[in-house]
Structure 1
Amino acid sequence: MNRVVTSAALAATLAVGAMLFGCNKSSASTDPGAGASDPVAALKVPEITYSTAQADLDKGKELFQAKGCNGCHKIGGGKLVGPDLKGVTARRDKQWIAKMILRPDVMVKEDPTAKDLFKTYLTAMPNQGVPEGDLPALMSYLKANE
């Protein structure tokens, strides 16, 4: 019985550790949608064109790892701390994905889908400070791994 309790405590500790340390931390910027009637609509993100160029896909993979995305997400193989991202580009539109990457803090507070994901996973995605210029490569990597 003691072994079961110890195993459960270890699993809980690892889950909390993954949530706290599995994803790189960065400070969230101020909310550009503050005071807007629809903060999600007020978020401006660049238009994204998916690329199939190997250099872009390699850069996207590098960003996925460097920003710590792989600490919380898998691409295929099921959920981890956050949802499995396999097929995310088929389930969500480009603008939604871009907003979730750039401003997860606003999305989790204001977007119904992001709120539902938070309720399911009980973990808010941290703002990783991904530069807008890196979005096409990161999102192309996700698209290529559908």
Structure 2
Amino acid sequence: MKSLTLICSFALVLAACGGSNQDKSSNATDPSSTESASTTGSNPSYDPNRGEGKFTDVKLAAKLDGVMASKGEEISDLKCASCHKMTDEKLVGPGWKGVTERNKPEWIMNFITNPDAMIDKDPKVQAMLEICMVRMPNQNLSDDDARALLEYMRKNDGVK
């Protein structure tokens, strides 16, 4: 069963990464060129700070919501911990340490709830895919579950 899962994952990665004959070395020296091409090329309305999805303005309180963070921890244990560590160490996916400092809350919420579109359009996600080699699956989380996960990530990043 594990080998079947591994084979399917490998096939998905190949399908996601293949199909382009474009020379990738031209973007390797200038990370902004990838972002610029993505935002001004085929989809000029794409905002790399917000991502792709319905969240446009996520309001965060200065103080952590402990109840929400606890709910987020439960969700993480169930749906996220098999691929993500709370440190900066990569497991299957990248570690979560510092994620709320590197990304806006809208970006995080949109990625949690809409990973397929983000993988297809977002230069940061595409760069992570090249390192991790596995597409994040859509966990079909509710908006409230995604918000609880964000609060748990904030707790992990030291918000009190």
Tell me whether the two structures share a fold, i.e. TM-score over 0.5. yes
> In structure 2, what is the equivalent of residue 59 of structure 1?
71
> In structure 2, what is the equivalent of residue 117 of structure 1?
128
Using the alignment, how far apart are the partners of 1:59 and 1:46 within structure 2? 23
**Could you tell me whether the CA contact under 8 Å between 1:101 and 1:130 is conserved in 2?**
yes
Using the alignment, how far apart are the partners of 1:38 and 1:45 within structure 2? 18
Given the alignment, which residue of 125, 131, 137 partners 1:126? 137
> In structure 2, what is the equivalent of residue 16 of structure 1?
6
Unaligned runs of 5+ in 1: 1-11, 21-35
Structure 1 residues 93 and 100: alpha-carbon distance in aligned structure 2, compared to 1, 3 A threshold: same
> In structure 2, what is the equivalent of residue 108 of structure 1?
119
Structure 1 residues 75 and 43: alpha-carbon distance in aligned structure 2, compared to 1, 3 A threshold: same
Alpha-carbon shift at residue 134 of structure 1 (Å) = 2.0
User: Is the partner of 2:153 in helix, strand or coil?
Assistant: helix
Task: Give the structure, 1 or 2, with the largest relative contact order (CA under 8 Å, sep 6 or more).
Answer: 1
C-alpha RMSD over aligned residues? 2.7
- Matched to 1:45, the amino acid is F
Alpha-carbon shift at residue 121 of structure 1 (Å) = 0.7
- Matched to 2:68, the amino acid is D
Structure 1 residues 40 and 102: alpha-carbon distance in aligned structure 2, compared to 1, 3 A threshold: farther
Using the alignment, how far apart are the partners of 1:122 and 1:77 within structure 2? 17
List aligned pairs for 1:1-146, cutoff 5 A. Answer: 16=6, 37=43, 40-41=46-47, 43-45=53-55, 47-50=57-60, 52-66=64-78, 68-76=79-87, 78-146=89-157
Using the alignment, how far apart are the partners of 1:38 and 1:104 within structure 2? 20
Bigger drift between 131-140 and 36-45 goes to 36-45
Using the alignment, how far apart are the partners of 2:46 and 2:6 within structure 1? 29
Alpha-carbon shift at residue 96 of structure 1 (Å) = 1.1
Report how many residues are paired: 117
Q: TM-score, normalised by structure 2?
A: 0.63
Using the alignment, how far apart are the partners of 1:69 and 1:79 within structure 2? 13
> In structure 1, what is the equivalent of residue 26 of structure 2?
none
Using the alignment, how far apart are the partners of 1:77 and 1:44 within structure 2? 28
Using the alignment, how far apart are the partners of 2:98 and 2:88 within structure 1? 12
Structure 1 residues 132 and 82: alpha-carbon distance in aligned structure 2, compared to 1, 3 A threshold: same
- Matched to 2:99, the amino acid is V
Unaligned runs of 5+ in 2: 11-41
